[in-house]
């Protein structure tokens, strides 16, 4: 079954599994990770950034366990370290962004330029990857797997695209991005994270070249399924998938 050209999973279908990762000696005897989730609602980007910095310090000091922030932002365009000195992928002028009520923010995450706004589920995992997950590429692939599993619970088949980061839907060569990933890791403590389009106003992506990728589009869960999706249901799906993948 397809909607808008996007393949949907049948009721018994499973999300594609990533290639098996090697386990370090002694991993079998370790206690499963305990993740704490905080649903924060609509949070201005600068406030969320300050909160992440505080929690990273607490996680490093050992006064906080592994924590995942789930929230939405007011309309904001963020530029990662790769795009900070260039406006090449920012299409809209400062005046137009101001008229549309869209903030522009320079950030310390990896990646290029992206848009956040209401209807987009943003996840900021504050995790200590030590001792057994000290692999940046594995961490990114694990976040992709979380999102693939989460949208699979709504019947949508998410995929990876070779050479690109994030989660995509649609036929090969004409995929649309449904979730973006941009992370920061400092001494194996993570911050920033992922953004999953649920009911996002996709017109705002016209202000940028999302992640600097010119030949693919952007979509959302509601656009793919052609029906309303409750943000709380998506948050629950992400929490389940995150607990499974990071156990």
Digit-coded pLDDT (tens) for 151-173 = 999 999 999 999 999 999 999 88
Annotated catalytic residues are: 211
Cα separation, 246 vs 149, in Å, equals 13
Give me the long-range contacts of 232-237 (CB less than 8 A, separation at least 24): 232/39, 233/154, 234/121, 234/150, 234/154, 234/196, 234/198, 235/37, 235/39, 235/70, 235/121, 237/149, 237/150, 237/151, 237/153, 237/154
- Answer whether 151's CB lies under 8 Å from 223's CB: no
Q: Reduce the DSSP state of residue 246 to 3 states and report it.
A: coil
Digit-coded pLDDT (tens) for 132-142 = 999 999 999 99
Digit-coded pLDDT (tens) for 181-223 = 999 999 999 999 999 999 999 999 888 876 556 667 899 999 9
The DSSP symbol for 202 reads G
Packing angle, helices 136-152 and 231-245, rounded to 10: 140
Cα separation, 114 vs 126, in Å, equals 21
Which pair of tokens denotes residue 182?
């941009």
Assess whether pLDDT exceeds 80 at residue 100.
yes
Span of 47-51, 56-60, 109-113, 175-179 with lowest mean pLDDT: 109-113
pTM of the model: 0.84
Cα separation, 55 vs 91, in Å, equals 34
Assess whether pLDDT exceeds 70 at residue 174.
yes
β-strands 103-106, 76-79: how paired? parallel
């Amino acid at each position: 079954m397809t909607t808008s050209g996007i393949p949907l999973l049948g009721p018994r279908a499973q999300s594609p599994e990533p290639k098996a990762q090697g386990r370090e000696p002694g991993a079998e005897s370790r206690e499963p990770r305990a993740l704490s989730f905080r649903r924060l609602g609509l949070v201005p980007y600068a406030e969320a950034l300050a909160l992440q910095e505080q929690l990273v310090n607490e996680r490093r000091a050992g006064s906080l366990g592994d924590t995942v922030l789930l929230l939405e932002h007011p309309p904001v365009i963020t530029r990662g370290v790769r795009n900070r000195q260039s406006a090449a992928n920012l299409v809209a002028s400062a005046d137009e962004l101001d008229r549309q009520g869209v903030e522009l923010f320079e950030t310390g995450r990896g990646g290029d330029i992206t848009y956040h706004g209401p209807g987009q589920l943003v996840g900021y995992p504050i995790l200590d990857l030590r001792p057994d997950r000290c692999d940046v590429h594995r961490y990114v692939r694990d976040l992709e797997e979380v999102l693939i599993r989460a949208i699979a619970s709504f019947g949508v088949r998410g995929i990876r695209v070779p050479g690109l980061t994030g989660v995509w839907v649609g036929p090969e060569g004409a995929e649309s991005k449904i979730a973006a990933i941009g992370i920061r890791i400092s001494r194996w403590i993570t911050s920033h994270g992922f953004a999953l389009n649920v009911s996002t106003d996709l017109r705002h992506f016209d202000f940028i070249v999302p992640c600097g990728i010119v030949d693919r589009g952007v979509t959302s869960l509601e656009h793919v399924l052609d029906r309303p999706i409750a943000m709380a249901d998506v948050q629950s799906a992400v929490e389940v998938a995150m607990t499974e993948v990071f156990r």
